[in-house]
A and B are shown apart, each in its own frame.
Chain A
Amino acid sequence: MSDRRLPSSPGFWRSPLRGPWFTSVLGLVLLAGITVLFVTGLVSYAAYNPGLTPVNDQTPGKGILGFYLFDWPTRPRWLYRLTQGVHVTLGITLIPVLLAKLWSVVPRLFALPPARSLTHALERISLLLLVGGGLFEFVTGVLNVQLDYVFPGSFYPLHFYGAWVFFAAFAVHVALKLPTALRHVRRARGADGEPTPKREEGDLVSPRPDPPSVSRRGALWLVGGGSLLLFATTAGRSFDGPLRQTALLAPHGGADPGTGPGGFQINKTAAYAGIDAAETSEEAWRLVVTGRTGTVRLGRADLLRLPLHSSALPIACVEGWSTSDQWWRGVRLSDLAALVGYGDADGVPDVLVESLQRHGAFRRAGLRANQVRDPLSLLALYVNGEDLTPDHGYPARVIVPAAPGVLNTKWVARLTFGAL
């Protein structure tokens, strides 16, 4: 046991930084941060309205894990932009804290005996779920943001079910450790500054520490500096203009894909979706609207003869980036519902929106009645004063306040009211 060459020996770990105060401070930061991540993650899941139609549901086997689902509102119109921006940006910002926390407790991974009691053995197994689950969530999230889909399966079920496995371990870890962490931090505050930990305070304190090369506070400053750097090079992807230029290393940061009215950020170009210019031409394209009284087919010219309305709405993606408000102009979804027999504003039903896109998730999307009814919800024909560009969904796209980007279907071919 006393062989200092083995990591199971406390003497193997030499850093004078490790100790209960350092770990407790990092743990409390993660407690607050991960709680926000978990809540905004669940909120994002609800924003897809997975309970509305199987079309929206990437995790049909969720069972009781969807217990809290609610009808996603349309106000405030920047709601998803805020919650998902916080989810992704905060997640990236917390990475240095997570790494530092794991570093601070790594001697415990090797501690012997493997188990002092049955409870202790189970606690250690639970820690595998905590560390494995936490890293799994952060890694899948960070890779998805970078469009590097190397993980084993679809992002939605992996990140969603992984989050619940992680949360189960996280919750019990908090329940078991929070009192200790609070005690250590309180004691330090009472002692007016970071305490000099004694060996008996826990196995985290090295019994033969190296001379310090940085103070504990200095190390925390470095962790905070890392978080600040990641924040400063990421947060800009939630804004347009010069702020976006500051997101130097993140996708959808830096430059916009184009210039002019339709130059703003794109998620899935027309080429990606396999949209042929021939099928979106004035002569070829017809919008098929179906409802109680039958089916109506409308060309773009027919749509332009309907009352046109404007809404200023952002595009907000599950990947955490968003645009500022764009100025959309088109036909209200509720007006289109009225064309096929749902004239009474209160009787507006759900709608299934189908795109010209033939493959890929979310080529079809369901919108709930409250989203259809909202006067800001449009089948947009123009953006920022000009025709939609092909990449933004020409000839027509849906734009709904507060909805996740993928539910704002582009290249719309068919609207079926009351089908869900």
Chain B
Amino acid sequence: MITPRIARMPRLPRFLRTPSAPRARRVPRPRRLPLGSPLRLLLLACSFALAGYAGVRLFAGDWRGVALWFVGAALLHDLVLLPLYAAADRAVLRAAGRAGRRPWVAYVRIPAALSGLLLLVWFPLIAGQVDRRRYLLATGLPPDGFLARWLLITAVLFGGSALVLVLRLRRAAKHRPPAVH
């Protein structure tokens, strides 16, 4: 295993050392950004060089479009998708808390997350975004039925979750000591 901490750099021979300024003339300078770990710097430089080599080729065509997709994907995820689902989750938690049913939140959260995941991945087909004629000509099948299948899967997920909740509640009720009359 590589140790993350870098061993102290060996002292360079005298002729390779940067000559230091005479002490008497040293004046306080504004604080500069420190360099950081030289090994990390080397690794990053190597990575940027390779990324640059491939990036020149990636951007050779419609560079504006590619840049928009590349940066846009990161921004859209970090600043739109993630806050959206985090806020939705928080809203569900709060609503469940207000209703005094906080332990039940998993029974909504899990099917919603799974259904949302399927929607995210297969959005073009589910939303009917795909060029219908081209899809039909390419595969010999129309791009139909994806919305219906996603809705059915979603129904099964929520229905299954509700079933599990009911079974657990019933079992809990059975094991509860009988109420005193």
A residues adjacent to B (C-beta < 8 A):
59, 61-65, 92, 95-96, 99, 102-103, 106, 109, 115-123, 126, 128-129, 131-133, 135-136, 139-140, 142-143, 146-148, 150-154, 157-158, 161-162, 164-165, 167-169, 171-172, 175-176, 178-180, 182, 213-214, 218, 222, 225-226, 229-230, 233, 248-252, 254-255, 257-258, 265-269, 271-272, 391
Residue numbers in B under 8 Å from A266 (CB-CB): 138-140
Name B67-88 residues within 8 Å CB distance of A.
68-71, 73-74, 77-78, 82, 86
Considering only CB atoms, which chain A residue lies closest to B106 in the complex? A214
Residue numbers in B under 8 Å from A254 (CB-CB): 145, 149
Q: How many of chain B's residues have a CB under 8 angstroms from any CB in A?
A: 72
Decide if A152 touches B35 in the complex (CB within 8 Å): no
Q: A162-B58, A164-B50 are in contact. Are A172 and B43 (CB under 8 A)?
A: yes
Decide if A249 touches B118 in the complex (CB within 8 Å): yes
**How many contacting A-B pairs (Cβ < 8 A)?**
220
Considering only CB atoms, which chain A residue lies closest to B50 in the complex? A168
A-B CB proximity, top 4 nearest: A152-B65, A119-B36, A117-B36, A257-B140
Decide if A213 touches B149 in the complex (CB within 8 Å): no
Interface SS majority for chain B: helix
Residue numbers in B under 8 Å from A148 (CB-CB): 124-125, 129-131
B residues adjacent to A (C-beta < 8 A):
1-4, 33-37, 40-41, 43-48, 50-51, 53-55, 57-58, 60-62, 64-66, 68-71, 73-74, 77-78, 82, 86, 93, 102, 105-106, 109-110, 113-114, 117-118, 120-122, 124-126, 129-131, 134-135, 137-141, 143, 145-146, 149-150, 153
Provide the bound-state CA to CA distance between A120 and B41, in Å.
9
Decide if A226 touches B114 in the complex (CB within 8 Å): yes
Partner of A102, one of B77, B129, B130: B77
18 contacts between A and B (CB under 8 A): A63-B57, A65-B53, A118-B41, A119-B36, A119-B41, A119-B44, A135-B77, A146-B122, A152-B61, A157-B58, A158-B66, A175-B2, A222-B109, A249-B118, A249-B149, A250-B122, A251-B125, A267-B138
> What is the minimal beta-carbon distance from B62 to any residue of chain A, in angstroms?
4
Decide if A123 touches B117 in the complex (CB within 8 Å): no
Residue numbers in A under 8 Å from B64 (CB-CB): 152
Q: A102-B82, A169-B47, A213-B102 are in contact. Are A65 and B121 (CB under 8 A)?
A: no
Provide the bound-state CA to CA distance between A251 and B121, in Å.
12
Residue numbers in A under 8 Å from B51 (CB-CB): 129, 133, 164-165, 168-169
> What is the minimal beta-carbon distance from A260 to any residue of chain B, in angstroms?
13
Provide the bound-state CA to CA distance between A272 and B138, in Å.
6
Decide if A268 touches B138 in the complex (CB within 8 Å): yes
Decide if B117 touches A229 in the complex (CB within 8 Å): yes
Interface SS majority for chain A: helix
Partner of B140, one of A62, A169, A233, A391: A391
Decide if B44 touches A165 in the complex (CB within 8 Å): no
Decide if B139 touches A153 in the complex (CB within 8 Å): no
Provide the bound-state CA to CA distance between A168 and B54, in Å.
9
Residue numbers in A under 8 Å from B125 (CB-CB): 146, 148, 249, 251
